[in-house]
Amino acid sequence: MGARPSAASAWISGEMVCLFAVMATLPLWIEAAGLYQYLGIEIAIWMIYGLGFNLLLGYSGLPSFGHGAFFGIGAYVFGLFQAWAFESLLLGIALATVAAFAAGAVVACFLSHRRGIYFALMTIAFGQVFWFIAIKWHTVTGGEDGLLNIPRPALELGVASLPLGSNVALFYFVLLVFAVVVVALWRLVHSPFGKVLQAVRQNEERARFVGYNVWRFKWAVFSLSAAVAGLAGSLFSMAQQSAYPDVMSLHASGVIVMMTLIGGGFVSFWGPVVGVAVYFLARDVLGAVTETWLLWFGLVFVVSVLFKPEGIAGVWQERVSGVLRLRFADAPLRSGRTGDVSIVGPEHGETKDAIGQSPSGR
């Protein structure tokens, strides 16, 4: 997951420019490709969701199977704010994000002492609690029907008001939010905070022994990831003009895990972006051919987990590094020693143990 120092320290990377450029032109060619404008909105929203989710799964190694709850909280809070208070795009989004953050913060208090299977099971349990509340609290959430007729408020810029009623206009607004989220998360994963998260994923015990309060980092990343899910949820309710419990279901929470893993969230920042695009294209392209598209997609997921858990991004990185390895095959692999006391020998060679074997087994 490492990046070159130059790329890591930049606000904008080459990959970002390419991605934003392709996405910005999407309304121009998506219909010519046999698809439809709304798909672009859906993809951008789920990419936001996926990138936030990957802070947890890919960067921190914390598997959440109940993240749909926070996506749903964002959707409901946005809808309720428009219905009960007044129509305001930015305030609605901000409130939805804060509400999801607060819910995530409370849940994280119970989760942050856990890891592995216990962490995962507790996320399922909490996700189900929120889903159940959404279904049963009819007077607020509308029960199984959910909230309907959620408006798409205009973007008020003081001097001008930009209506977001059309899918193209909404797409560009979502794309703007997406760009902000990408840049913010890119900075975050290369910041000391992001580096500590990755250290915790690799070796929680050592992170603790070099002085990091691991609980606080887990709490913070879970809450942040929930906030990003809430942000995506608010955009989703605006796009769908409704909010319903299905997005909080175990199935919906599983979909974001699947997208992130297939894309390669474990090895690349861009993994969830790839996974979301592949999922929606499979749904619409494969779905046009067969109703059982999810079965085939599920099989691809199983094969991916079994044979290539690094996902599509992992395959890509392997091919690129393979090419680089061939190109630089003649370059010296070992650099010289520069002095000081060394326990690793003058040639940096592998130390042999008493019976002459390499203890590391490499």
Tell me if 187 contacts other proteins by CB under 8 A.
Answer: yes
Tell me if 24 contacts other proteins by CB under 8 A.
Answer: no
Q: Which span (160-168, 197-205, 252-260, 309-317) binds other proteins, by CB under 8 A?
A: 197-205
Q: By the 8 A CB rule, do 1 and 198 touch?
A: yes
DSSP codes joined into one string, 96-107: HHHHHHHHHHHH
The single residue listed with the structure tokens 């929606």 is 280
- The residue from 32, 117, 159, 210 that contacts other proteins (CB under 8 A) is 210
- Cβ-in-10-Å burial (0-12, 13-18, 19+) of 88 comes to middle
- The residue from 182, 196, 226, 258 that contacts other proteins (CB under 8 A) is 196
Whole-angstrom Cα distance, residue 344 to residue 74? 54
| Closest to other proteins by CB, 20 or 193 | 193
Backbone angles phi and psi of 186, in degrees to 5: -60, -45
Q: By the 8 A CB rule, do 45 and 232 touch?
A: yes
Nearest approach, Cβ of residue 292 and other proteins (Å): 38
Q: Which span (4-12, 66-74, 129-137, 226-234) binds other proteins, by CB under 8 A?
A: 4-12
Nearest approach, Cβ of residue 203 and other proteins (Å): 5
Nearest approach, Cβ of residue 318 and other proteins (Å): 15
Residue 224, C-beta contacts closer than 8 angstroms, at least 6 positions apart: 52, 55, 101, 104, 188
Tell me if 115 contacts other proteins by CB under 8 A.
Answer: no
Residues in region 303-332 near other proteins by CB under 8 A: none
Whole-angstrom Cα distance, residue 267 to residue 239? 31
Which residue ranges make up the site for other proteins (CB under 8 A)? Answer: 1-2, 5, 8-9, 187-188, 190-196, 198-199, 202-203, 205-214, 217, 220, 334-345, 348-354, 358-360, 362
